[in-house]
């Protein structure tokens, strides 16, 4: 069984045909993890017994119920869960030693929906503690490594989920995207990664980083697989008042439809000095594919882009400082001394900007900039259907290269955080390779345009087939 070459669509077909059983599939996943994860560090907790038990249960269902795949559209699909998601009966740490023994009594809404759809959780994946980071190096445990080059980062904060899907440990990895944290690891690991519209997917049961920014997304190998998962996770949730009662589309139904006449906007502020020329070339080559498919390219402007990072790193730490205040070492969790350097940095910065005398000068001004950035995107979408931009200004960087320079680390998110400020969706799709490393391209749309993003990305994926180039490191 070649899990590196399989997708959710492939596996569902093979399970239906009886090519292998759920138990055989899960055993193969666990074997791959045991052989490879010592050098990748994608997982913090394995759910071996629970996964095998669930696989047995599903094999019996397949034998006895011919309609089971209609009832459970993701039946038997192995999943890695970012350790920010609460999982009943499976330790949830948020990548932090402060709550290293937390065993939740309930599942996050997204996890409950995915379990109901038939996924099998193989384990909880590594991450930057509390979701604070762009590289995976801010975990309180060992940092995750990029399967395409073990000396480089896989992108963060959903580093473990990205690496796990990339090296064949599972077929979907959940993530959270507050400013980049699904799209960046997807870009660095040659995956499809979605940051949905804010409010499209419930945040209930996902440990909060910055509540007005957090978006609940996921990573897969292909566009079809990604769309299939969103059909399950999206939708209103009575436990999350920020979810919106807008119909969930059958996203997979539009895949393959043509995009002739589609207007693609190219934000000039995203193609500036500092963008690695190899990435620029890759994106420009990708644009030729879209033109071949019948789309037109038009340069547009997002005039307040230069202020996005500054606004983001005032507003987000402010919400972080509020959300982390509950971990006081009194009611639950370990002492606050266990917070890592990045968490402490964000708590102090957020507390400062919210303090008396500074709120108007910093927080309020940043909130006004956020509105202007949102308006920039709204104006752009009056002229074009989608935007295309690089996911990252650089290729995956070396582990340790930026860990002592927080400002350089933050700039990894420079092309990604504006969509979080605006609350709009962004989809990373593989654009190709440079120096043997993945290049990510993001397709950005207006609010609740996920269906369009998948439609555009799918045709590009079918033309290029970049997703078929998997990591080549040897097992063992």
In the block, tokens 């697989």 appear at 225
Of the listed ranges 244-258, 327-341, 428-442, 446-460, the one predicted with least confidence: 327-341
Gyration radius of the chain's alpha carbons: 21
Token pair belonging to 312: 């983001």
> In terms of C-beta density within 10 A (0-12 exposed, 13-18 middle, 19 or more buried), how is residue 241 classed?
exposed
Known catalytic residue at 181: yes
C-beta of residue 266 within 8 angstroms of C-beta of residue 107 = no
Catalytic residue among 134, 181, 318, 392: 181
C-beta of residue 307 within 8 angstroms of C-beta of residue 373 = yes
The pLDDT value recorded for residue 408 is 84
The pLDDT value recorded for residue 406 is 84
Average pLDDT over residues 416-427: 98
d(CA 344, CA 100): 18
The pLDDT value recorded for residue 218 is 98
456-to-26, 259, 263, 462 alpha-carbon distances in Å: 33, 7, 11, 10
d(CA 467, CA 192): 8
Asked if residue 435 has pLDDT above 70, the reply is: yes
The pLDDT value recorded for residue 476 is 40
126-135 residue pLDDT tens: 999 999 999 9
Average pLDDT over residues 240-269: 97
Catalytic residue among 12, 21, 134, 157: 157
| Helix (H), strand (E), coil (C) string for the chain | CCHHHCCHHHHHHHHHHCCCCHHHHHHHHHHHHHHHHHHHCCEEEECHHHHHHHHHHHHHHHHHCCCHHHHCCCCCCEEEEECCECECCECCCCCCCCCCCCCCCCCCHHHHHHHHCCCEEEEEECCCHHHCCCCCCCCCCCCCCECCECCECCCCCCHHHHHHHHCCCCCEEEEEECCCCCHHHHHHCCCEEEECCCCCECCCCECCCCCCCCEEEEEECCHHHHHHHHHHHECCECCECCCCCCCCCCHHHHCCCCCCCCEEEEEHHHCCCCCCHHHHHHHHHHHHHHHHCCCEEEEECCCCHHHHHHHHHHHHHHHHHHHHCCCCCCCCCCCHHHCCHHHHHHHHHHHHHHCCCCHHHHHHHHHHHHHHHHHHHHHHCCCCCEEEEECCCCCCCECCCCCCCHHHHHHHHCCCHHHHHHCCCEEEEEEEEECCEEEEEEEECCCCCHHHHHHHHHHHHHHHCHHHCCCCCCCC
302-336 residue pLDDT tens: 999 999 999 999 999 999 999 999 999 998 899 99
The backbone region for 445, taken as left when phi is positive above 0, alpha when psi lies in -120 to 50, beta otherwise, is beta
Closest CA to 434 of 285, 290, 288: 285
Average pLDDT over residues 341-358: 94
139-to-53, 74, 97, 148, 200 alpha-carbon distances in Å: 30, 30, 9, 20, 28
Asked if residue 20 has pLDDT above 90, the reply is: yes
CATH code reported for the domain at 3-308+367-468: 3.90.1300.10
C-beta of residue 345 within 8 angstroms of C-beta of residue 321 = no
The pLDDT value recorded for residue 78 is 98
229-244 residue pLDDT tens: 999 999 999 999 999 9
Domains of the chain: which residue ranges? 3-308+367-468
Banded pLDDT at 1 (limits 50, 70, 90): confident
Percent of the chain at pLDDT exceeding 90 = 93
C-beta of residue 445 within 8 angstroms of C-beta of residue 453 = yes
Mean pLDDT (the chain) is 96
d(CA 442, CA 453): 10
d(CA 58, CA 468): 29
Asked if residue 141 has pLDDT above 50, the reply is: yes
The pLDDT value recorded for residue 253 is 98
d(CA 65, CA 54): 16
45-80 residue pLDDT tens: 999 999 999 999 999 999 999 899 999 999 999 999
Asked if residue 424 has pLDDT above 80, the reply is: yes
Asked if residue 226 has pLDDT above 70, the reply is: yes
d(CA 470, CA 476): 17
108-123 residue pLDDT tens: 999 999 999 999 999 9
Asked if residue 197 has pLDDT above 70, the reply is: yes
The backbone region for 199, taken as left when phi is positive above 0, alpha when psi lies in -120 to 50, beta otherwise, is left
In the block, tokens 């379990």 appear at 115
Token pair belonging to 156: 């963060």
Of the listed ranges 260-264, 270-274, 409-413, the one predicted with least confidence: 409-413
What is the Cα 26 distance to its own chain's centre? 23
The pLDDT value recorded for residue 475 is 44
464-476 residue pLDDT tens: 999 999 998 654 4
The pLDDT value recorded for residue 303 is 98
d(CA 144, CA 135): 8
């Amino acid at each position: 069984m070649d899990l590196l070459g399989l997708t959710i669509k492939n596996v569902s077909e093979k399970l239906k045909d009886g090519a292998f059983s759920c138990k055989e599939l899960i055993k193969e996943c666990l074997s791959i993890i045991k052989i490879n994860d010592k050098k990748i560090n994608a997982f913090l907790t394995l759910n071996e017994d629970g996964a095998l038990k669930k696989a047995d249960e599903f094999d019996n269902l397949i034998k006895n119920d011919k309609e089971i795949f209609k009832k459970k559209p993701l039946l038997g699909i192995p999943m890695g869960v970012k350790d920010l998601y609460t999982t009943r009966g499976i330790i949830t740490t948020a990548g932090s030693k402060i709550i290293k023994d937390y065993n939740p009594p309930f599942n996050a809404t997204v996890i409950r929906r995915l379990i109901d759809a038939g996924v099998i959780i193989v384990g909880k994946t590594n991450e930057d503690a509390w979701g604070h980071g762009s590289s995976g190096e801010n975990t309180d445990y060992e940092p995750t490594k990029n399967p395409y080059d073990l000396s480089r980062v896989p992108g963060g904060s959903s580093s473990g989920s990205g690496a796990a899907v990339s090296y064949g440990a599972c077929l979907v990895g959940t993530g959270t995207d507050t400013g980049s944290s699904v799209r960046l690891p997807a870009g660095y690991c040659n995956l499809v990664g979605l940051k949905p519209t804010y409010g499209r997917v419930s945040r209930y049961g996902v440990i909060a980083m910055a509540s007005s920014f957090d978006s609940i997304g996921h990573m897969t190998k292909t566009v079809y697989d990604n769309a299939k998962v969103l059909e399950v996770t999206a939708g209103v949730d009575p436990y999350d008042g920020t979810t919106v009662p807008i119909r969930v589309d059958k996203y997979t139904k539009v895949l393959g439809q043509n995009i002739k006449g589609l207007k693609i906007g190219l934000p000039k502020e995203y193609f500036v000095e500092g963008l690695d020329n190899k990435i620029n070339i890759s994106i420009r080559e990708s644009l030729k594919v879209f033109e071949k498919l019948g789309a037109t390219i038009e340069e547009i402007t997002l005039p307040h882009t230069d202020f996005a990072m500054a606004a983001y790193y005032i507003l987000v730490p402010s919400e972080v400082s509020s959300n982390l205040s509950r971990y006081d070492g009194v009611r639950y969790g370990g002492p606050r001394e266990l917070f890592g350097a990045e968490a402490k940095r964000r708590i102090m910065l957020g507390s400062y900007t919210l303090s008396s005398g500074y709120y108007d000068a910093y927080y309020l001004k940043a909130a006004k900039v956020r509105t202007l950035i949102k308006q920039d995107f709204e104006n752009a979408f009056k002229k074009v259907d989608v935007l295309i931009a690089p996911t990252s200004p650089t290729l995956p960087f070396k582990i340790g290269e930026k860990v002592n320079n927080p400002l350089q680390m933050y700039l990894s998110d420079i092309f990604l955080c504006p969509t979080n400020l605006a609350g709009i969706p962004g989809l990373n799709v593989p654009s190709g390779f440079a120096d043997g490393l993945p290049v990510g391209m993001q397709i950005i749309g207006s609010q609740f345009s996920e269906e369009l993003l998948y439609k555009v990305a799918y045709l590009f994926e079918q033309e290029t087939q970049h997703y078929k180039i998997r990591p080549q490191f040897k097992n063992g």
